[in-house]
A and B are shown apart, each in its own frame.
Chain A
Amino acid sequence: MRISNIALITFLCSMGAAAQDKVTVPISNPSQPVTLKVSTLNGSIRVTAGTGKDVIVSTGEGDVSRRRERNPRDGAPPGMTRIGGGRFGVDIEEDHNVVTINSGPPGGDGTLSIETPANSNLQLRTTNGSTIEVTGVNGDHEIENTNGSIHLNNVSGSVVAHTQNGAVVVSLDRITGTKPMSFTSMNGKVDVTMPAATKARLRLKSENGAIYSDFDVRLEADASKPLVEDNRGTNGKYRISIDKSVTGTINGGGPEYTFQTMNGNILIHKK
């Protein structure tokens, strides 16, 4: 383990402007893929594929703090300037190529910017981050936001992406393996671009929106049967639920990909 490679680089700013901390996390076995697990409460997450073998983590200021930095008297008492306070605490651990990053407590609206080797499996989670953004990373990705959007640009591998309030926008350069994938939101559009040769069975569902695609989707006959729950014998209810999903195949079918939103359109693009 190359502890000596740890670098703390700080940009000094004048007049109370905030510094950005950068931490280089050495990887135990650089020849093998990295698993990157990130969890934060408040703050955005940006992950990009780097050219190096290490994971580089920067804790920067968020939008609110940057705005305050541009106008340091924002909210300050008369005659005073704001000291950068948008950073948050962050714990980082690397163990056998698994890098775990937890940030908090919420001391600001900072952004975690992470540069990771191109072959990395991502498990990213935030609650009140304005966005989770990933660019160019190849691996199996599990992305979850609660109050914010998800943007995966030119990623490869497999994706499971979900947010409660925000858009899910994914651009897949390459799909590897036959793993099922899922792109879901509660309130927001689901917009996914896949290679033209992608073979898959699509499960599509939008409660209050339309579904669009330039793939040739061969819809399947509606073979789903109503689901009946009869709990009347235990003073329960008799309930019939009907799955409103539409299913179809592209390029002859393959693993199942789920596209779902409650309020928003579903768009499936051919790359």
Chain B
Amino acid sequence: MKQILFVAFIGATLAFTAAGRDYKVEDRSPVNHTFSSDKKLDVDVISGSVEIIGDGGNGIRVTGERVIHAADQQQLARAKQDDVLDMNEKDGTAQIYENGPFRNNNNRSSDNHGFHENSDREYNVDWNLTVHVPREIALRLRDVNGSIKAQDTNGVFDISAVNGSVTGTNIGGSGNISTVNGTTVVSFRENPKSDSAFKSVNGKVDVTYQPNLAAEFDLRTVNGGMFTDFESVALASTGGGSSKDGKFVYKSHGNSRIQVGSGGPQIRMETVNGSIQIRKAK
């Protein structure tokens, strides 16, 4: 009886690992590419990590690795054919775009790609990329399953992740950074001069500004605290009354608004489950 139970246990374990996609075949291959001096970088990947590093150069240098995990050699070959990294230049924008059968209605796809049935695939592809860029380049970064990091850049930014944290280190510029499941942590070398937003849903939002900060903040968290080491004053709620269909209507979303310094750009920091921290750089 004990042997039967043991065999049953092993069988259950194997079934579980198969359902969890414990792929046996791994393939790693390097990624190298150089763009000319584009003014904007557009990275859009589904899976993998993205790291952007600003430097004093003029070109855009992409290095990294494609990592495939597949059920077998046949699936590995299929992954290599299905999931590719398109790197194009269009209207002054360097485009890095993970393409495959999971994409739909995009204008950057390779001719042989576009959405088609792929639910039977037994592979996973990660594109782990490091991109060196000129400091002033504008960034548009997207990642579904993976973290995004930007370091030492100074241009406008539009960064969005889904399952992964977003980190900006020693950056300048203004823009939007958000994720759904992960933290949004940013430190500014130079404070934003234009309206900006930093958001998460499940994770803290933690932004460090230079001591000469002058801005107005619109803050909101549902489950978490909001903290700062800047001197600040509270501002009125942005909600207001109005007439609608003959009725008086007032809506306030419960945001907290504060002013730091003499005020300036509107900075929105928002999460649902997590704290918000506005830090002063030491």
Write the residues of chain A forming the contact surface with B, with a CB cutoff of 8 angstroms: 1, 3, 6, 8, 10, 12-19, 21, 23, 25-26, 59, 75-77, 79-85, 87-95, 105-108
Contact = CB atoms under 8 A, between A and B. Distances in A.
B240 A8 contact: yes
A39 to B, nearest CB: 15
Given A94-B248, A107-B254, A82 B242 contact: no
Given A85-B225, A89-B253, A107-B222, A10 B235 contact: yes
A83 B220 CA distance: 10
Nearest to B229: A80
Interface in B255-282: 256-258, 276-279
Given A3-B242, A23-B241, A75 B225 contact: yes
B96 interface: no
Contacts of B235: 10, 12, 19
A3 B227 contact: no
A25 B241 CA distance: 8
Interface string B228-259: 11011111110111110011111111101110
Interface residues of B, number: 37
B49 interface: no
Contact of A93 (B220, B225, B232, B249): B249
Given A80-B227, A105-B222, A19 B236 contact: yes
14 contacts: A6-B248, A8-B237, A12-B235, A18-B256, A19-B237, A23-B239, A23-B250, A76-B225, A77-B227, A83-B278, A84-B256, A89-B253, A91-B249, A92-B241
Contacts of B236: 8, 10, 19, 21
Nearest to B258: A83
Contacts of B219: 83, 85
Interface residues of B, dominant DSSP: strand
Contacts of A76: 225, 227
A108 B240 CA distance: 20
Contacts, number: 130
B53 interface: no
Contact of A84 (B234, B251, B279): B234
A90 B220 CA distance: 14
A84 B219 CA distance: 10
Contacts of B243: 1, 3
Contact of A90 (B226, B252, B277): B252
A26 B242 CA distance: 11
B99 interface: no
A1 B246 CA distance: 8
A67 B235 CA distance: 20
The 4 closest A-B pairs by CB, nearest first: A89-B254, A10-B236, A19-B234, A94-B248
Nearest to A68: B225
B221 interface: yes
Contacts of B252: 21, 23, 59, 87, 89-91
Contacts of A15: 231-232
A19 B229 CA distance: 18
Nearest to B279: A80
A18 B234 contact: yes
Contacts of A88: 254
Interface in B172-229: 219-222, 225-229
Contacts of B232: 14-16, 83
